Amino acid sequence: MAATATRALRLGSLSFCYLTIAALVVAVILAYENQFLDWFLASFPDRMTFATAGALTGVILGVVFFLAFPAAGLLSEERAVIDGFERMRAGAEPVVFVRHLFGSRAVREHHSRAGSVILALKEHVETCQTLGMRPLLGTTEVVEEFGTRLEALFARLAWARTLLVSLGLFGTIVGIVMAMTAQRDMPVTPEETKQYLFLLYHGMGVVYISAVLGWGGAIWLFLFEAVLQRQADEVSADFWKLTASFIMPVIQSDAFFKAQPEPS
């Protein structure tokens, strides 16, 4: 109970996403009320700045809604499934608990990673019982299978973070080159001065947008990964404890081995 209460007080990955969206909404409202958007549009009116802002914003929104939110939701589902297994175990006899676990809805539907791993373990145990053999899988193999499925989440997030850093760096370099191009010939006439300032703002707008959105998005994703990693470590540790302390000793016991598997 104490561990559950402690987890409830910590910031989860899904809550991190919701807080980020709320903070962005507040920031946009404050920027609008303080006429920051009007100043930006007046200072950087060129199409390149708008195109850069639109492209990077689209990439960031895609990362948030198609990678971050699904990853956070999946891990929250894993947390809920394992907590359900823990509640099922509380006060139950070990053999009865494992029987109920193998026949539970989370295992039958196996939408979660934990449920699919337990289902594979159940099928292995039933096959071994049919052949008159002891289960061959150990705790390490079961937990490693669970951890391998979680690693795919972080691989996709790392790819997205690299993409944002690369886009931010590319946009910054392009903007600097554009700004330096404006300084090759110092303006003399008013028309040249206007063109000079246009090219200078043209490049600096791209630099600002690339730095804020590209690198800012990468930093946000880095922080999100840290929260997600902590949550994944907790889920993996609880799954290891459940498997090593309760499931594997039962399926290796004589009482469970001699009993016929109940139909699910």
The answer to which of 48-57, 87-96, 188-197, 246-255 has the lowest mean pLDDT is 188-197
Would 94 be classed as within a structural domain?
Answer: no
Would 67 be classed as within a structural domain?
Answer: yes
Would 102 be classed as within a structural domain?
Answer: no
- pLDDT of amino acid 8: 42
Would 139 be classed as within a structural domain?
Answer: no
Would 89 be classed as within a structural domain?
Answer: no
What is the pTM for the complete model shown? 0.77
Identify the band that residue 258 occupies on the pLDDT scale cut at 50, 70 and 90.
Answer: low
Bigger pLDDT: 75 vs 5: 75
Percentage of the chain modeled with pLDDT above 70: 82
Identify the band that residue 257 occupies on the pLDDT scale cut at 50, 70 and 90.
Answer: low
62 lies in which domain range? 12-37+45-84+152-250
Total domains present in the chain: 1
What is the DSSP secondary-structure string of the chain?
-HHHHHHHHSPPHHHHHHHHHHHHHHHHHHHHHTTHHHHHHHH--SHHHHHHHHHHHHHHHHHIIIIIHHHHHHHHHHHHHHHHHHHHHTTS-HHHHHHHHHTSHHHHH--SHHHHHHHHHHHHHHHHHHHT------HHHHHHHHHHHHHHHHHHHHHHHHHHHHHHHHHHHHHHHHHHHTTSS---SHHHHHHHHHHHHHHHHHHHHIIIIIIHHHHHHHHHHHHHHHHHHHHHHHHHHHIIIIIHHHHTSHHHHHSPPPP-
Would 55 be classed as within a structural domain?
Answer: yes
Would 201 be classed as within a structural domain?
Answer: yes
Using one digit for the tens of pLDDT, what is the confidence trace for 152-194? 788 889 999 999 999 999 988 888 887 777 555 565 566 666 5
- pLDDT of amino acid 263: 45
Question: Rounded mean pLDDT of 2-31?
Answer: 72
Does the pLDDT value for residue 3 go beyond 60?
no
Question: Rounded mean pLDDT of 18-31?
Answer: 86
Would 229 be classed as within a structural domain?
Answer: yes
Average pLDDT across the chain, whole number: 80
Does the pLDDT value for residue 98 go beyond 80?
yes
